[in-house]
Every structure is written in C-alpha cells, then in structure tokens.
Amino acid sequence: MKVRAIYPIPRNSLVLLLVTVLLALLPHVGRLPVWLPIVICLVVGWRVQVFRERVSFPGKVVRLVAVLISFGGVFAYYGTVLGAEAGVALLILAYSYKLLEMYKERDAFLVVILSYFVVATNYLFDTSLFSTLYTLFVVVVVTASLVGMNQSREGSSPFRALRVALVLSAQSVPLMIILFIFVPRIAPVWNLNVQGGQAQTGLSDSISPGDISSLSRSAELAFTVEFKGGKPEHKDLYWRGVTYSDFDGRTWRRGLRESFNNGVGVLSRDLVRRGEELRYRVIMEPTYRRWLFTLPFASLKLSGVKQVDSLVYVRDEAVSTLFSYDVVSHLEYSYQPGGLPERERVRLTSLPVTDPRTTDRANELWAAARGDVSVYANAILKWFNREPFVYTLNPPELRGDINDAFLFDSRQGFCAHYAGAFVFLMRSVGIPARVVGGYQGGDFHEAGYLVVRQYHAHAWAEIWIESKGWVRVDPTAAVAPERVMSGPEGATTDDSFSLNSPLSPLLFRNIPFVRDIRSKIEYVNYLWSKWVVGYSNKTQMEFLSRWIDGVTPQKMVFILLVCLGLVMLLLAIYILVERGRARVDPIDALYLSFCLKLERQGLVREGGEGVWTFCARACLAFPQLEGELKAITSLYDAIRYGDLSQENKENNRSDDATLSNLKIELRQAVKTLKFVR
C-alpha cells in the first residue's frame, strides 16, 4: 500500500509515541480478555516493523477483517458490546488498530488524544493512590510524545520532550488543585454500573454454607470506620448489613419484604435506646450491593437510604463508588419488646419440612427448657460448645438435609453453618429468629481508625424474646470464642485460614517490619480514599465550611472564578515582566559578579570596555593577580566568544563537554579570586 505522507510523523517522536501507547494500555491488561493483550502486542510489533521499514501498512481488507473479528471477540467474551468493560475493551482495540493507520502527523495527534482518553478510562475501574500516580506518570509521557511531535525534526530529543512535558504538567497542578477543591460536585445523572471482578467479594443476597468460606480469606478492604469520640470494644463490633429470613432447606435468603420495603421505617414506640451514643463515619468500598453496614442500633439520615423492619439500611442505588456516611449508634437498645406483628411472627418462624433429626433435637431441648427462650438458647450454645464442633473455613460439603448433616455428622463449619443451624433450631420451636450477615470485628489502625476487611465477614443470629425484643446471639462464639475476640486468624485451629494468593497481605503477617510498612501504606491509602476519592458534595461542604461561612454553590463558583482570575493575573504579570527584560546569560552573570569583586576593590569596568581591555587595566591595578585575571578573562572569552559556544552547530559532544568543563573552571576561578592587601 502506498502512502502519500504529506506531514510524515517525525521518526524520533514515533518511538516515544509507541512507548506511550504501551504504558497507557498496561493498567488495563489485567481486566481484558487474554487474547486482547496479544492482539495489542502484534499490532505494536507490526507498527514497529513498519517503522523499521521491514513491512508495509496493512491493506483495507486486513483492517476490516481484524476489526470485525475483534468486535466478535469482545461480544463473545462480555456478551455485550455496551457497558463500561466491553466499551473500554473496544476502545482499546480501536486505539491500538489506529496505530496501523497512523500515516500522517494528524493520525499521530489523534492517537495522542486517544491516549489521554484511554488513560482516563482507567479510573472507571481503579481509583487507588498507586493507580492514580501511575496514571499521572502516563499523562506526562503522553504529553511528552505530543511535545515530541511538535519538535523540529533536527532538534527532537525524547528527554527534552519529557522535561517540557514535566514542566507543563507541574504548571497545571495548582489549577488542578483549585478545580478539585472548588468545582461543585454534582452527582452523575447516569449510573455506570461497573462490576468487574469485584462482585465476587462481599456479602450476597443469599447465604448457603460454602459462601462465606471463600470470602473469609480475602484481605480486601470492605470499609473503614472513623470513630468520633469513644471507640467500642472489639466484642461489640457487629456490623449489620443484611438479614436473611427466608429458608428453603438449603439457602437463607433476604426476605422479599426487605427487598421491597416501602421505607415506612421503624416505629419509635417499638424502640428503646439506652446508654451512650457512638458517632462514626463509615467509608465504604464499592460493593455493587444496596445495603450499608452499621453497628446496632443505628440512626442514619441520608437521602436515598432507608431503614427496613429488620433495622438494616438499604440504599436506593447500589454502592458502586466509594461511599461514606455518618452514623449515630446506640449499642444498648431494645427493639419490638412489646410484640411482633402477626405477619412478621409467622414469617420469622416459618420453616420448610426438612431436617427431622434437628427438629427432634430442638423439641427435646425445648421441652427441657420448659418454655424459657433464654434457657433454650443457652442449651443450644452449650451443646455447640461441649460436643466436638470444629470451627474451620474448609468444611466438607453437606449433602441432604444440611442442618442434620452438619449438626450430627460433619460438625465442621464456620459462622454461616452455626448461625443457620441455630436459627433453624429456634424457628423449629416457634421462636422468631433470623440470620444476620455482616462483618464482625476489624483492625484498629495506629492512626485511630478501624479497618474492616473481607475476611471479617461474619454471620450470626438474632432471636426475638418476649419483653426483651430482638437479641443478638452469636453461636460461632460458643464454638470458637477467639473468632469474636480476635478475628478469624486466631479462630481456626487448622490452617484453613491461609492464603489463596501469593501476594496476599496475610503473607508475612507476623513479621513486624512488613506489618509496619503495610500499615503505613494502608494509612496513606485510607487518607487518599477519604480525602480524594471520597471527596463528595458533602465532604466538600464540610471541608470548605472550615473557612467559609455558609457554603453555597454560588459562593463556590465565585471563589473558583476569583482563583482562576488570580492565576490569570499572576500569569499576565509574569509574562509582562518577563517580556520586559532580557535574560542575562549565566556566564555573563558570572563575569559581572567578577566585575563586582573588582569594583569593591575600586576598579570599575566602563560599560563600553571590552573584557580584554578591562583585563589589561585590572592587571595594571593588581599586578600580583595578573595570572588569575587573565585566566578568568580568557575563560570568559573562550566560553562566550570562542567557537565552542553553544550556537556553533558544528560542535559535537566532546566540544559540549569541554564547554561545560570551561564553565565549571570559570565558576571556580571567579569564586576563588581573592584580593590580598
């Protein structure tokens, strides 16, 4: 294929551009289908071969076929070509194919602009500090390749381009900060549902033994909590998130009522709050679920969030970005002590007809307890405690009636097993009970906040007792009290709490140094999430109201304009001042300082006096310094007037080196010049 290159791409900057493309694509690689990076490598390789003039550009047919095949490939992988992930994959494909069409300078500019866009799409998936730093680095490189393409063909040097790009980017930083702080945050009208691979972690709509096991080993962050004021004890850290009240024999599910709650809320007559209130802010990582996590009993006022009958909070939209909310909790409370509505009672005691052995045992213990719910519950806990029940994260698969199989055969399980079995035992004698899913515990960071990770995921039970209301019972604590006291690490007696990834933070967790570094990194990440990623409309108001009374969008726009105006004004002053004065060559400045030294001795150089004329005069005045004076003058002569000076185009590298040596010599000579009287 023949190409009529009218404005060919400068070859030097093309190399930089190809490097830029690879750097921009790098963070995406992990998220793309395996074949896509291979395609990218092939395309870049092809372009490199074109650059080396080994092969020519592909023809129209080849390009068309490649586009159609990859379109099909993306569709086959994602099942759609819409949506963020498939869209980004398509964008990346188009972006790399553009390299094979990059004949002219105009095409190269297009690729550069696309590079900025591709870099920006990375934020759809990852907003962590390190990813941001990397992105900024790539932005500098992209800018450098833009600079490189505008350099003259002779004078192009990638390092100079990089330097220019760095200066440009640095200059834009103040503007970026001002815009970041003051531009009013408007919630997006669209909701981009980027799920990614992250849907695997977190609690799910249903809980059937086996689910939480996989979760427990992930050290990914679930949420961080900042306590304002007092901190609760570790044993009180039950982060309620979701309640499961429907059981079909194998799986506990969220009640339909809970899912479609109309948000009537909790009637205050049903609720008694006691004790001190606990204030905290939760900064939640995206879960792509609608529920929020709080300590009981939580008061939370936020638009788009409502409290359902089981006292958990549900948001209208899934939490797909970092989300923070302020909560006031009362750890001592009683809810619905007066009685349950009949419909609720029926719903919370209904069970399928399964697990005969468990039902028998329940009736047996219930009879022994003589109708006292507390006694009955304690009897069950004692049973869990005395019999050889094992807390493990790798329980065997349960067949048939799961509660029977668990309670009488395997006797190995984790929180979900115990909570499920406990609630089943309760309901089978008519006591309203439900399974609660959430997180238990958390790690207090040195900086004072609490980090809750996916391996803190937990399930426990809540039972309703007449005149006491809802009471939390954690059957896991009966089997492995350490789980509640210290977290899942200490709880498992086998090594089931181990790693499923070679880079897991759980690795080396006992080496203090590694722990220390990790906690520092976590702290930085926490601050980043809190102040940068989590900088929402609310935090913005909060932050700004430290300095401004009554933050309104109008005021913010005003401040923004004032700031921008100030920046413009400073720039204008700088430009005007800079224009008004010519720059002094550094060597001239050095020579003038030499003249100043002589001036202090009473010898003033006339304006129109050449350096050698002045030297001759100075030698007469200071004959003892003749050597030094002549040396300085001849160095200045050589640097400023000699054919070594920069503007001499015929100079090579060694001349440059000589020149810089001369400059150093001159600097030294001027510095060491001393007048002895």
Partner 1 sequence: MTSNHVAEVIAEIGNVLLGKEEQIKLCVACLLAKGHLLIEDLPGMGKTTLAHALAGALGLNYQRIQFTSDMLPSDILGVSIFNSETAAFEFRKGPIFSQLVLADEINRATPKAQSALLEAMEERQVTQDGDCYVLPAPFFVIATQNPSEQMGTYPLPESQLDRFLMRIHLGYPDPAVERELIVGIDRRQLLKSMKSVVDSEQLAKLQQEVASIHLSSAVIDYIQRLVGFSRRESVGLSPRGTLALVAAAKAYALVEGRSHVIPEDVQVVLGPVAGHRVQGAQDITGHAGVNVVQKMLAEVDVVDRALL
For residue 97 the two structure tokens come to 């194919």
Query: Looking at beta carbons only, is 80 or 613 nearer to partner 1?
Result: 613
CB of 642: closest distance to partner 1 in angstroms? 5
* Interface with partner 1 (CB under 8 A), residue from 229, 550, 602, 607: 607
Query: Looking at beta carbons only, is 542 or 588 nearer to partner 1?
Result: 588
Amino acid letter for position 631? A
Active-site residue, 234 included = no
Pairing of strands 457-465, 433-440: antiparallel
Residue 656 in contact with partner 1, rule: CB under 8 A: no
* Interface with partner 1 (CB under 8 A), residue from 236, 637, 655, 665: 637
* Interface with partner 1 (CB under 8 A), residue from 256, 569, 570, 589: 589
CB of 552: closest distance to partner 1 in angstroms? 47
Stretch of 176-184, 219-227, 525-533, 600-608 lying at the interface with partner 1 (CB under 8 A):
600-608
* Interface with partner 1 (CB under 8 A), residue from 94, 471, 592, 603: 592
Query: Looking at beta carbons only, is 377 or 611 nearer to partner 1?
Result: 611
CA distances for 273 relative to 239, 295, 298, angstroms: 18, 13, 10
Residue 591 in contact with partner 1, rule: CB under 8 A: yes
* Interface with partner 1 (CB under 8 A), residue from 191, 498, 501, 613: 613
Q: Give CA–CA dist 237/295, Å, rounded.
A: 7
Judged by CB under 8 A, the number of residues near partner 1 is 26
Are the beta carbons of 491 and 391 closer than 8 angstroms?
A: yes
* Interface with partner 1 (CB under 8 A), residue from 6, 600, 606, 649: 606
Q: Name the β-bridge partners of 435.
A: 244, 461
Query: Looking at beta carbons only, is 35 or 612 nearer to partner 1?
Result: 612
Query: Looking at beta carbons only, is 553 or 610 nearer to partner 1?
Result: 610
What lies within 8 Å, CB to CB, of 81 at 6+ separation is 71, 74, 75, 87, 90
Q: Please identify which residue in the block is written with the tokens 């990194």.
A: 521
Residue 647 in contact with partner 1, rule: CB under 8 A: yes
Active-site residue, 415 included = yes
Q: Give CA–CA dist 195/147, Å, rounded.
A: 37
What lies within 8 Å, CB to CB, of 391 at 6+ separation is 413, 414, 476, 479, 480, 483, 491, 492, 493
For 119-125, the CB contacts below 8 A with 24+ separation are 119/24, 121/28, 121/88, 121/91, 122/27, 122/28, 124/84, 124/88, 124/192, 124/194, 125/31, 125/84, 125/194, 125/196
Q: Give CA–CA dist 607/460, Å, rounded.
A: 91
Stretch of 266-274, 374-382, 556-564, 604-612 lying at the interface with partner 1 (CB under 8 A):
604-612
Residue 610 in contact with partner 1, rule: CB under 8 A: yes
Residue 584 in contact with partner 1, rule: CB under 8 A: yes
Query: Looking at beta carbons only, is 273 or 667 nearer to partner 1?
Result: 667
Catalytic residue among 415, 456, 595, 615: 415
Residue 588 in contact with partner 1, rule: CB under 8 A: yes
Active-site residue, 417 included = no
Catalytic residue among 211, 309, 474, 595: 474
Query: Looking at beta carbons only, is 477 or 632 nearer to partner 1?
Result: 632
Strands, E, within 374-430: which ranges?
A: 390-391, 412-413
The vertex-167 CA angle with 534 and 569, nearest 5°, equals 80
Residue 642 in contact with partner 1, rule: CB under 8 A: yes
Residues known to be catalytic: 415, 458, 474
Residues that bind partner 1 (CB under 8 A): 581-585, 588-589, 591-592, 595, 606-613, 637, 640-643, 645, 647-648
